[in-house]
């Protein structure tokens, strides 16, 4: 996963993360996930559909002299395509937006609690998560931050990251979103949201 962001960008992001926490009094969890789920059903769907299509194309050029050749050919192609379905590009073809949105949301909530809020005593925590396979970005904040920061403002952070990600600059996307979140917290809360200065979370990007 670390090959997605160059090492220089990783250092800049983690340095900016420390500054964010010192300035706002808020813990920030940064996550870069290869995918939010293994999607085993997507591999199966891809295998069945691709196997049928390949068998149909094969039958256009070669005559099946026996009736059992068709199901045998489809069985072989399906097994091969199920194996190919484990590749990210193949899974993506067999997934729909609703399924990816659900899995990304569930994964984000899980990580927000297991890696974030449960490890922070004062519970003032935010999270920015990017999932590469689904090309989805999720920003979550705790109840304290929700008092002042609206969902519309969080959506603006997502759009900031998405714009830079589409341009192939994931590092800049993280940096800009951290800067915008810091500005929103300082503006909406009139300064630091918490007096707890010590960082309780690891000030690093979590590669999952």
| Domain map (residue ranges) of the chain | 2-37+96-207, 40-93
Confidence of residue 107 (pLDDT cuts 50, 70, 90): very high
| Residue given tokens 């590749």 in the structure block | 87
pLDDT of residue 139: 92
Distances in Å between the Cα of 33 and the Cα atoms of 27, 36, 60, 110, 121 are: 19, 7, 42, 13, 26
Q: How many CB atoms lie within 10 A of CB 55?
A: 20
Distance CA 142, CA 23 (A): 18
Mean pLDDT of the chain: 85
∠ CA(86), CA(164), CA(129), 5° rounding? Answer: 55
**Banded model confidence at residue 96, pLDDT cuts 50, 70, 90:** confident
pLDDT in tens, 23-36: 888 889 999 998 88
Tell me which of 3.40.1280.10, 3.40.50.10470, 3.40.50.20, 3.10.310.50 is the CATH number of domain 2-37+96-207: 3.10.310.50
């Amino acid at each position: 996963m670390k090959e997605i962001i160059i090492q220089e960008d990783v250092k800049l992001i983690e340095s900016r993360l420390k500054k964010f926490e010192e300035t706002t009094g808020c813990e920030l969890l940064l996550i870069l996930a290869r995918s939010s789920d293994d999607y085993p059903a997507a591999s199966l769907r891809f295998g069945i559909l691709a196997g049928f299509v390949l068998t149909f194309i094969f039958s256009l050029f070669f005559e099946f002299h026996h009736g059992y050749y068709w199901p045998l050919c489809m069985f072989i192609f399906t097994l091969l395509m199920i194996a190919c379905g484990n590749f990210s590009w193949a899974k993506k073809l067999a997934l729909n937006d609703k399924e990816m949105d659900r899995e990304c949301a569930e994964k984000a909530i899980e990580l927000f609690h297991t890696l974030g809020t449960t490890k922070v005593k004062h519970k003032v925590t935010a999270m920015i998560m990017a999932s590469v396979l689904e090309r989805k970005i999720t920003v979550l904040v705790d109840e304290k931050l929700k008092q002042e920061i609206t969902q519309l403002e969080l959506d603006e952070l997502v759009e900031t990251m998405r714009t830079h990600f589409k341009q192939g600059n994931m590092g800049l996307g993280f940096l800009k979103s951290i800067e915008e979140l810091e500005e929103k917290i300082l503006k909406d809360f009139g300064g630091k949201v918490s007096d707890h200065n010590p960082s309780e979370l690891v000030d690093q990007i979590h590669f999952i």
